[in-house]
Structure formats: C-alpha cells, structure tokens
Amino acid sequence: MTTITTNSDLIPLGSRAIDRAGHHRTDQAWLDAAYKSEEALVFILQGGLPLVTAEGGLVWLGPEVAKLAPDAEPLFLGVDKNGTPVFAVEMPGDFDLNSSLIAGTGDFGDLRTSLQNMPEMDANLASTARSLFEWHRSHRFCAKCGTESVRTDAGWKRECPDCKAQHFPRTDPVAIMLAVSGDKCLLGRQRMWPKGMWSCLAGFIEPGETLEQGAARELLEEAGIKCDPAQAEYLFCQPWPFPSSLMIGLILPAENEDITIDPDELEQAIWVTREEARRILAGDHPEIYAPMRFAVAHHILNEWATRDE
C-alpha cells in the first residue's frame, strides 16, 4: 500500500489555519468590542491585493484601521492560539496609501507573487479574505429575487431584505490530477503560461459526477488519456483563492499513452519520466520548470516523483 508523505494540513494556503470561532459571527456586541480592542489583529486589502511588507508577509495593524476606513465592514476570520481576534478589511477604491497614516508600512501587492514568500498563517488568512471579498463583490444581488442583499454573520453570509433568502460563500471543487503510466507521468501546459512552465491537468467537477469521475473525464477530454475512476488515488486538497476553489489532488493510472489534446484547453501535453520529474522539482531540467511551491500541483508531482519505483 502506498504511503502518502504529506496531507492537506501541510499544503500551502491551507496550513497553519486559525480557529474560525464561528460561534462569534452572530454576536454583534462581541464583534464590535473585539474589533475595537487594542489586541485585535487586522490586515487590509484593496481590490483583492493585500498590504504586504517588503519581505512578503502581511502588514499587521490594529483597531486604527477603523479610522482609515470608517465605513468598511470588517471580516472576522477567527482567533489565533492566544485567543486574539483577527479581522480583514477591504479598503475603498479611493484610499490613498501614500498619503495615509500607514504610509511606508508596505505596499498592496499581487497575491500570487506575495504567496511565494508569505508565512503559512498569513497565506491562509490572505487567501481566505480574498476569496470572501471577491464573493461579496460578485454576489451582491439575491439569486432568488434580484434585490441587493446585505452582509451578515461577520462577512460569512448575505441575506436578502425582501425575500429573506440566505446566501453563503461558494467554493468550486476542482480536480487537479496526475495521470501515470509505469515510470511516466503526464504534464500539460496552457498557451498563456510562461515559457517552460508545465503542470498537472485540472478541471472543475460537474453536477452529478464524483470527484474521481470528473478527474477521469477531464483527462480524456483534454489529453485523450483514458483512466478508470475506480483506480483514482486521493492525495490532499488546497483552498485556492483565484477566485475561490478547492483544488483536490489525485493520481490516476492511465490505460493508454497516446496523447490527443484539446487545443482550447492545452497547448501541449507530454509524458515525463520519474527521473525527469525529480530534475524538474530540483530546478535542474533544461526545458521544464515546476509549478511554484505554494501551488498544490507542485506537491502532487513531488508526491509521485519521490515514491519508490
């Protein structure tokens, strides 16, 4: 039996999660007091970009954020191991960092870039906040009656004031899988990616199918590789905030090796040996480089490549 060397709690963006303390989300008096507390930890984003230090970590602020954005609705993310409340605030579009009281503390940076150097807990919190703020931005109106809904439960729910429908943040399940055949695995690349970048294939799970069925379907549709869903091996998963997915890692034995790509999905797909995969992960391959370490695809490839042959 194959022993998986890692688990979801160790995968970047999901690791070092704090206690979400969901029982506080409906206690407005507690939330108000916690947000004003001198112990409160608050970080900010603007347009989905977190305020980060030069080293890549979040800029941690306190209750002074309420003075910077008095009309902003803080998102309650939970409490850390010391019981300290943690909040995130989305700054308005007209907020000028350079002329503010916190000028010089950091810059609003692209999250994908920042994640390469961000501490584990910061990465989890920034990813969570970005996903929720993007959801609020794109789901302002009630899907049942069309009325503009309002934020409730400390940012974890929207309610319609007219028909009373409740709406919760969505997370889209995505299979991200490595097809393998003996000592080879399948990698693909999209035309928009930087030269030399290759990764596992991936695709959204559709209604009415299992995770394993969706993974096998995507491999067949995108690369012409047939796999038996019953033979799929689940590895681990990762929350992915672009915009809000759960990336679910699998390995599937391939029943054929002839590749037929869907050009609308992939530019190219190739088989690489286990030794080549190890070189790719080590950064020693002359033509191919691995996905960034914060991406679950990196860890899927590493899981397979480091197994005994």
Beta pairing partners, 273: 184
Q: Which two tokens stand for residue 179?
A: 């097809």
Whole-number Å distance between alpha carbons of 105 and 33 = 26
Class of domain 10-138: alpha beta
Comparing C-alpha atoms, which of 265, 286, 271, 278 is closest to residue 307? 278
In the chain, CATH 3.90.79.10 covers 171-305
Per-residue pLDDT of the chain (309 residues; tens, 9 = 90+): 566 778 999 999 999 999 999 999 999 999 999 999 999 999 999 999 999 999 999 999 999 999 999 999 999 999 999 999 999 999 999 999 999 999 999 999 999 999 999 999 999 999 999 999 999 999 999 999 999 999 999 999 999 999 999 999 999 999 999 999 999 999 999 999 999 999 999 999 999 999 999 999 999 999 999 999 999 999 999 999 999 999 999 999 999 999 999 999 999 999 999 999 999 999 999 999 999 999 999 999 999 999 975
pTM value?
Answer: 0.94
* 171-305 under CATH 3.60.15.10, yes or no: no
Spatial distance between the Cα atoms of 16 and 13, rounded to a whole number of angstroms: 8
For CA atoms 298, 303, 307, 309, the dihedral sign is negative
